[in-house]
A and B are shown apart, each in its own frame.
Chain A
Amino acid sequence: MKLTIIHPAVYVIYYLLLVILAFLYNDPYYMISFLICVSALIMLQGISREFKNVIQFFIPMSLLIIILNPLVAQVGTTRIYVLGSYFITLEALVYGILMSLSLLIILLLFASYNRAVSYQEMLYLFSKRFPHISMIIVMALRFIPLLSYRLTEVNKISRFNQENQGNQKIESRVDKIKKTAQMLAVVVSWSLEESMLTAKSMKARGYGIMKRTSYLSYKLRKIDYLFILVISATTLICTMGLANGFGRIEIYPTLHFSVHESMFNPYYFSFLILLLPLIYLEFKERLIWH
């Protein structure tokens, strides 16, 4: 139960902007503050299982990026000799590490998005313009548990038959695969026949005669306008900063990065403000409920 309800379209826009910005930034300061904020958001949303999945997916991909990038991009001036005359460049290595950081942020953002916007809310957004497509998606989501239930039923019957015949010992692997396919085929033909009955029933109840309505309904309220105002203003400032080179470091051809460079400019602060609204909302909810 949420106290502050935000229109799902606003969520979608917000996460989309964050993903694009995560892709564009490559300054370590920006990236690390981004990573900290997204991690805080995920912790407040309470998703540790998804976090594990993300890490499982992330490690091989990031390794591939970090290894492959220096191998394929031999641009850059600082050479590191690995084997005799074969060299990789420091710049390419740094680029690979920063990019895999950006990949991690994007993966975490999607995990957080999947938590923040439920599929009903997404279908609500979809069903206005694409009523038939969203109907297909809803039906497919319902058919999946139904099909797996039917598969267990068919499995039970086949095992029952097998035990009654009493010849389960002489079975090779090919037979097993064939039997599985046979069972799947039974489920498929059963479900296809049943689905045509569903279609007849839907038609009899008048599907498609009236415009489709949605179970959920949202209206843009004051808080949504406030939210949009904040994120559009800060994104505008961030984009201006990016155009002037704030938030990006120069990697190719030579790495330019100094630790003492001043971070206290308006662009950085507006970037931080852009990251905060959802964290603030989640935090407020935590305070009220617990």
Chain B
Amino acid sequence: MLNSILEGVIAFMLIAGGAFAFIGSLGLTHLKDFYMRLHGPSKTTTLGVGCTLVGSSLYFSLNDGPIVQELLITIFVFITAPVSAHMLAKSALHHKLKPDPRTRGNPVELESEKPKHSVEEAPQGKSPLP
């Protein structure tokens, strides 16, 4: 009885993980500009991979005792995905990728660049020394 309930939970975890990862990759393919595309993989795919790893951990602890080794990968993925998304956003801002007009927000890095301090031209012609 308990095993059949646990099998149902494992099957749900596997299918939910696959569905989340597929939706994330669909967003990566279909959204308009880079700042929108960053949402899909960094949130949804992380959740999908986490669901699959938890399901695998439950499956291997079905027969002989609890096994928490897969949770190690889950924790690692949950820690590192925001860091890599942050670095990707920084590099996209550094390259000044064009945002879609529907993308909200107006970061300083993407404003049209006008030199704030124009370099003062050195006086020419009249050098103090002869």
Q: Do A and B bind each other?
A: no
Residues of A within 8 A of B (CB): none
Give chain B's interface residues, CB within 8 Å of chain A.
none
